[in-house]
Amino acid sequence: MERGVDALDKKNKKPQNYLNRERLYDNQDICLLLNISKRMLQRYRDNGLSIHDPA
């Protein structure tokens, strides 16, 4: 996952958002990291699956 985040950071030129020193990701970031569509991400949410990094 770290390599994916690093690659996203290099490719993505928009400002990074943080809350309480934790990086916030938008829908597009998550889709790129997981290589899924926005619709699939919504299915995960509809089914109660959360995607987060507990570290």
Mean pLDDT of successive 10-residue segments in the chain (55 residues)? 59 70 87 92 86 59
d(CA 2, CA 51): 14
Task: Return the C-alpha torsion angle 11, 44, 53, 3, nearest 10.
Answer: -30
For residue 38, the model assigns a pLDDT of 95
Q: What residue type is assigned to position 39 of the chain?
A: R
- Domain around 15: 2-46
Tell me what pLDDT residue 18 has: 83
Task: Decide if 52 is inside a domain.
Answer: no
In a domain, 55, yes or no: no
Q: Is residue 28 part of a domain?
A: yes
What's the pLDDT at 43?
A: 92
pLDDT of residue 39: 95
What's the confidence (pLDDT) of residue 1? 55
Q: Is 0.75 surpassed by the pTM of this model?
A: no
- Whole-angstrom Cα distance, residue 14 to residue 52? 21
Number of domains comprising the chain: 1
